[in-house]
């Protein structure tokens, strides 16, 4: 058994039980973004969180233990993602990557936006010409050590 | 001469003249995100915008015309970017790609967030434990046609 | 169980039962292009459509539920497809990609043809020197947001 | 000198002189799709066509000769194209590739749609919810020899 | 079950029963080149041909049906083949590819040799300094449509 | 200066002078296949052959010397060739590679067809349904040493 | 069953039975280099050799037959090998590849060292500063055919 | 100026002056294998060696200094080499890589053959059935530290 | 059964039994770095070490034997690692690779730091602004043989 | 002009003037590791540091300005580095990557060692059996935000 097996069981159980990520997040008591990522094998759950998730998805004790182990992260099967929804995010990096770089350096100097000390929030943004997806990201600025 | 030559001339002129993207954006009268992307060869400028940019960076008439031609977009030299700042955005897609997918589908059903009908805003977020980079993205939700 | 398993069961059942995609489409009541793509794991079916498809291919309730989940799309095993029929479409993109780009920009300005708000129709075009494949594509033009 | 040099000179001359592909095509007397592809180094011009193109873009005699030589075709700098407009066509192959394959084989049996004995037509399709790009493709069906 | 499973069963049965491709071809009544390719999952058999092949290799009815379905073609596990015998053919394309191109264009003008309307014949060519492999290929010349 | 520079000069001179490969071959006194490959940088010419080639294409003494140096061979810019004519040969390897392997081993046992002790001949094959390209290849069979 | 299955069974049986390649080679009566390569799926055994190998490793009759079939050769899971021992050989090709080329051409003219009509011998070379691995390779020189 | 420029100048000067690597090696007083590799930018020359090489190839003082700088090594333009002579060495690694690994571990235990503390010797091996290339390699065995 | 199976069993047993690598290392009597690497399939254990490890993780005799066989090393599923923790080490090589090269050559001349005769030590480094990971590496300098 | 041009000029000037990185670092007043990386285009210099570097390497004012601009980082020409010295570091990541991951998580829990808030020190470690390269790395541990 591996974490991947547990992730696949969670995904299958979600389809079978008709669960929603936002409901799972409410039960766990953390943001839907963090909880979804964790269930998809990208975050590590604490003992209480793992108990809630195991209960909701019907995991065994063995499987629950895997939720508390740091997973090998990275969720894409290919380096350039084929799925159209995920590709659009890759395209943002491809098209706006140098823009992100220029503007962050202009504001902060040399360094990066952390992808670890990082939080995000995804919401529906109602709009008369068609609703929009709104995503807010916040990552700590990190400076190179001298 | 090609658009790439013009982009490189703009970047070199910016270093040489000590310009800031936010000042260029103020002169052009559009957001710093859009203007920076346009100067870096990822957007197409209208005649008046091109005149302002050409003036600021000291471009010839020939070079100014290239600013009004739709460029071949995509700003990364390799499919997985090597630069640490840009890589962190790639890592967000790699780690959170399936999370984006699950949460957008849960809220909107099948479809994508447009990377074309898309706007973003990048700001410094002051924080006692170290300032943060804050990015807000807004993209139209698009549904598959039947 | 995953959507891939369901797709493979559909393909195997089609061979075993000798079904035709156009007949499946008639039963579902949508175009053969959309229904084939959906059965091959590239579209999401509504409850009624899924019921018809499940019935035709002999799927279980569990498998039927997967048809209503948005799949991870992209149907090629390699980034450059090896199959001769599919490669010819890749070659069209390779040879005519810049032509598509020039002519769409000449007609519409900066932007893209949507691959999501998109429909197509594939027909036999009788011809004395050998029949031809005729494909009509229609995708919404999308303009970058300022 | 190479065909690539000639193609780049044509593209630069088009920007400089403000020519339109549809006008070039009218002068050459062939479809805008074929003429654009030819000017972009994907087709071979006859002597008269080359003379018209050379005249419009201000090519030398040496450069005109290159237009009559069969070029090394394929216009993409990477196997998965980065430009958003061209990527959407790649995505169509990725998402609908197996659908094309199934429907062509269902109608014609084993074989392919030729990408050589091939014609296409690209038009604006007016639509109240936003105009659409309409592309019609016609390729001869080719059967494997026994 | 998939065509790949049937191909693997055929290959294993050939080892187990000690069959020869030329004998299979004689039974089917077509060239050894075409029949071998078909058994290896690169061609589509008609009903009578499939019956012969199924009989020789001990296939079930279900497996026989797969022989009549157009397979996803392309028989190499990597884009540059590792096996020395197959690599030599890749090397011929690599070393002589531009020579093929120059000589076909010199004789026929713009166009290609079809790999679909294509036949080949492979024979032993006795030679005092060591026998040689002789391969004759014949493919229809196809001209671009105007 | 490098062999690549000499090859490019030969190609440009051929366009400029309107030479034909078959005429060059007649002057050199060897097959058009070998001479074309040599001029394209895939073979090494002897002193007399180099003198003829240098004369025909107007090469300097320095350039002529490069023709007598064994070149770094392999004429494709990408491992999967983009040009449609050359791709068809790659497709033959991809589709028929395992067939070549099976039939050569069936006839000769373990070993390969040499791509070095190799000759080929390319001819027009007249045909009422459209002329065909005919290629005959002959390569020495090589057996593994014990 | 496939040759790969047989190779894996041989490797597992070797671990389980504690066999040594040099002992297997003695039993087969051929060099340890050839016999090891053969057991690892890179060479084809004759009937008597296969009987010895099958006996030593406890193979079934079916498995023994696979040893007499020419395998799909090439033993690396990635084109640049990750294993440090094997990588060092790749590095020799990378660092000394052009040196091999220059010196072989200087001695023999155009052509190659055959990797098929090839033998090698691997020995321990005692040395006061630490023993060394000594490998002697011998491959037939092959000249291009005119 | 870079080491690559110096390497290219050496190669061009060798063609122009008609030098032989073995003569260069005699002048330098080291093996032809080491000297050729050094001239091709894979080794670092001492002051006296550099003076000899600079003199033979007509290098400037500036260029001579580059010969004494450790170069960025690795001489292949692609990870799988296209040139037939060099590819055969890659094929040896691909086919015999696991054999090298098994036999070295059988003789020495865990560790590698060094590619740095390494020497080789390349000779013509006369043979009635055609002369052979003989290469002897000697690399220090290195054991993992505990 | 293969070494990979044994590695996976060890990893699963560690999760199930809640073992710590440092405790395993104490039992084995070697550094935690070496023992962890060995358990993860990157080192070879002696008979006594293997007995301890087999006992702790509940391995069978067959599985224990695999621990004493030199494994195929290299622990990354992709050449550029996706996991953020491991990627940071890749980034160090990418960003500081040329710096390592310059400084080692400046101190030692031509040669390398061995990755085989290599040891490392990983510790927590307490720090008021947040604890740090401290890694000390020691590898033997190796000089090219003349 | 670009930062890459400045980097290349620095490297060439270092060869020409015979400078040492440790001397440059002493002049700049920072560690040799940081200064070497900065001169190689991987760090950003402040005004005073840039003045010292410009003076030592003979840079123009224009070139000096580039030293104060954040560069596009990543110093490797290929994703798997070919140079033997740099490859050994890549091999450490490949072989010990999962070990780094396990031991850091065991000590710190989920998170990473920063490659930005990172310092290192490279020294010669004298040793009777041959001197060793000793590298100490220190990177801040970063925890995922909830």
Residues H111-126: pLDDT tens digits? Answer: 999 999 999 999 999 9
> Residue by residue, what is the 3-state secondary structure of chain C?
CCHHHHHHHHHHHHHHHCCCHHHHHHHHCCCHHHHHHHHCCCCCCCHHHHHHHHHHHCCCHHHHHHHCCCCCCCCCCCCCCCCHHHHHHHHHHHHHHHHHHHHHHHHHCCCEEEEEEEEEEEEEECCCCCCEEEEEEEEEEECCCC
Residue B146 has pLDDT above 90, yes or no: no
In the structure, do chain A and chain D come into contact, i.e. share 3 or more CB pairs under 8 Å?
A: yes
H7 and H63 within one domain? yes
- What CATH number does the domain containing C105 carry? 3.30.1160.10
In a domain, F78, yes or no: no
- Which residues in chain D have their CB less than 8 angstroms from residue C139's CB? 88, 132-133
pLDDT value at residue B104 = 98
In a domain, E98, yes or no: yes
pLDDT value at residue B125 = 98
Which residues, in sequence order, are bridge partners of residue C139? C118, D133
Q: Which residues of chain F have pLDDT under 70?
A: none
Q: What is the DSSP letter of A18?
A: T
- The dihedral through the CA atoms of A14, A15, A16, A22 has a sign that is positive
pLDDT value at residue H146 = 82
Residue linked to tokens 């090709």: G93
Report the chain H residue with the minimal C-alpha distance to residue G83: H101
In a domain, C138, yes or no: yes
Average pLDDT over residues J126-137: 98
**Over the stretch D56-100, which tens digit does the pLDDT of each residue have?**
999 999 999 999 999 999 989 999 999 999 999 999 999 999 999
G89 and G59 within one domain? no
Interface size H-J, in CB pairs within 8 Å, comes to 26
Q: Is residue G93 a contact partner of residue H81, using CB atoms and an 8 Å limit?
A: yes
Residue C146 has pLDDT above 90, yes or no: no
F108 and F57 within one domain? no
- Boundary (domain end) residue, out of G17, G38, G67: G67
B13 and B53 within one domain? yes
> Residue by residue, what is the 3-state secondary structure of E87-133?
HHHHHHHHHHHHHHHHHHHHHHCCCEEEEEEEEEEEEEECCCCCCEE
| Percent residues over pLDDT 70 in chain J | 100
Which CB contacts under 8 angstroms, 24+ apart, belong to H22-28? H22/G106, H24/H53, H24/H56, H27/H52, H27/H56, H28/H52, H28/H53
For residue J111, the SS3 value is: coil
Q: Which residues of chain G have pLDDT under 70?
A: none
**Over the stretch C55-81, which tens digit does the pLDDT of each residue have?**
999 999 999 999 999 999 998 999 999
Residue D113 has pLDDT above 90, yes or no: yes
**How far is residue C122's CA from residue C125's CA, in Å, rounded to a whole number?**
9
- The dihedral through the CA atoms of J44, J49, J55, J56 has a sign that is negative
Q: What is the DSSP letter of B79?
A: S
Q: What is the DSSP letter of H72?
A: -
Q: Can you read off the two tokens belonging to residue C11?
A: 């393909």
* Angle, in degrees to the nearest 10, between helices E32-39 and F84-108: 100
Catalytic entry in E2, E22, E75, E91: E91
- In angstroms, the separation between the Cα of residue A120 and the nearest Cα of chain I is 17
Strands H132-142 and A112-125: unpaired
- Boundary (domain end) residue, out of G12, G36, G67: G67
The answer to whether the Cβ–Cβ distance between C72 and A83 falls below 8 Å is: yes
**Over the stretch I34-44, which tens digit does the pLDDT of each residue have?**
999 999 999 99
Q: Consecutive 10-residue runs of chain A (146 residues): their mean pLDDT?
A: 96 97 98 98 98 98 98 96 98 98 98 98 97 98 93
Rounded to the nearest integer, the mean pLDDT of chain A is 97
Q: Which residues contact G66 (CB under 8 A, 6 or more apart)?
A: E15, G1, G2, G3, G5, G6
Which among G65, G75, G139 is the top mutation candidate for probing chain E, defined by the most E β-carbons within 10 Å of its own β-carbon? G65
**Over the stretch J73-115, which tens digit does the pLDDT of each residue have?**
998 999 999 999 999 999 999 999 999 999 999 999 999 999 9
B95 and B44 within one domain? no
Q: Can you read off the two tokens belonging to residue C27?
A: 């039963």
pLDDT value at residue F60 = 98
pLDDT tier at J146, thresholds 50, 70, 90 = confident
Q: How far is CA H57 from the centre of its chain?
A: 19
Report the chain I residue with the minimal C-alpha distance to residue A61: I16
G133 and G94 within one domain? yes
- In angstroms, the separation between the Cα of residue E12 and the nearest Cα of chain G is 6
Q: How far is CA I69 from the centre of its chain?
A: 17
In a domain, H21, yes or no: yes
C91 and C58 within one domain? no
Catalytic entry in C8, C48, C91, C102: C91
Does the active-site annotation cover E88? yes
Q: What is the ipTM of this complex?
A: 0.97
Catalytic entry in H91, H94, H102, H138: H91
Average pLDDT over residues J119-137: 98
In a domain, J74, yes or no: no
J124 and J89 within one domain? yes
D63 and D7 within one domain? yes
Residues in chain D: 146
pLDDT value at residue D49 = 97
pLDDT value at residue G121 = 98
The answer to whether the Cβ–Cβ distance between F65 and H15 falls below 8 Å is: yes
Domain range for D89 is 84-142
Which among J37, J74, J112 is the top mutation candidate for probing chain B, defined by the most B β-carbons within 10 Å of its own β-carbon? J74
Which residues, in sequence order, are bridge partners of residue I112? I142
In a domain, J20, yes or no: yes
H9 and H61 within one domain? yes
F92 and F51 within one domain? no
For residue F146, give the nearest of G33, G137, G10, H102 by alpha carbon: G33
Average pLDDT over residues B22-34: 98
In a domain, A77, yes or no: no
**Over the stretch I73-121, which tens digit does the pLDDT of each residue have?**
998 999 999 999 999 999 999 999 999 999 999 999 999 999 999 999 9
- Boundary (domain end) residue, out of D42, D67, D92: D67
pLDDT tier at J26, thresholds 50, 70, 90 = very high
Report the chain B residue with the minimal C-alpha distance to residue I87: B91
- Which residues in chain C have their CB less than 8 angstroms from residue E116's CB? 84
Residue B82 has pLDDT above 90, yes or no: yes
Active site positions of A, annotated:
88, 91, 114
Report the chain I residue with the minimal C-alpha distance to residue G83: I73
- What CATH number does the domain containing A41 carry? 1.10.260.40
In a domain, G77, yes or no: no
Residue H19 has pLDDT above 90, yes or no: yes
Average pLDDT over residues E83-96: 98
In the structure, do chain D and chain E come into contact, i.e. share 3 or more CB pairs under 8 Å?
A: yes
Average pLDDT over residues B71-75: 96
pLDDT value at residue D25 = 98
Q: Can you read off the two tokens belonging to residue C2?
A: 């995953």
Residue I146 has pLDDT above 90, yes or no: no
Which residues, in sequence order, are bridge partners of residue H133? G139, H124
pLDDT value at residue B55 = 98
Catalytic entry in D88, D132, D134, D138: D88
Which residue from J2, J69, J73 is facing B84, i.e. has the nearest CB?
J73
A88 and A53 within one domain? no
Domain count, chain G: 2
**Over the stretch E30-85, which tens digit does the pLDDT of each residue have?**
999 999 999 999 999 999 999 999 999 999 999 999 999 999 999 899 999 999 99
């Amino acid at each position: 058994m591996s974490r991947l097996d547990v992730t696949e069981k969670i995904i299958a159980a979600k389809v079978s039980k008709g669960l929603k990520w936002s409901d799972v997040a409410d039960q766990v008591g953390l943001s839907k973004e963090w909880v979804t990522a964790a269930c998809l094998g990208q975050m590590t759950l604490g003992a209480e969180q793992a108990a809630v998730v195991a209960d909701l998805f019907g995991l065994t004790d063995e499987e629950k233990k895997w939720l508390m182990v740091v997973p090998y992260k990275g969720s894409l099967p290919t380096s350039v993602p084929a799925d159209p929804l995920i590709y659009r995010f890759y395209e943002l990096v491809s098209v706006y990557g140098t823009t992100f770089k220029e503007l962050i350096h202009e504001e902060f100097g040399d360094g990066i936006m952390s992808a670890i000390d990082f939080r995000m929030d995804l919401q529906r943004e109602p709009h008369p010409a068609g609703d929009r997806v709104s995503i807010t990201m916040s990552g700590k600025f990190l400076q190179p050590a001298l």
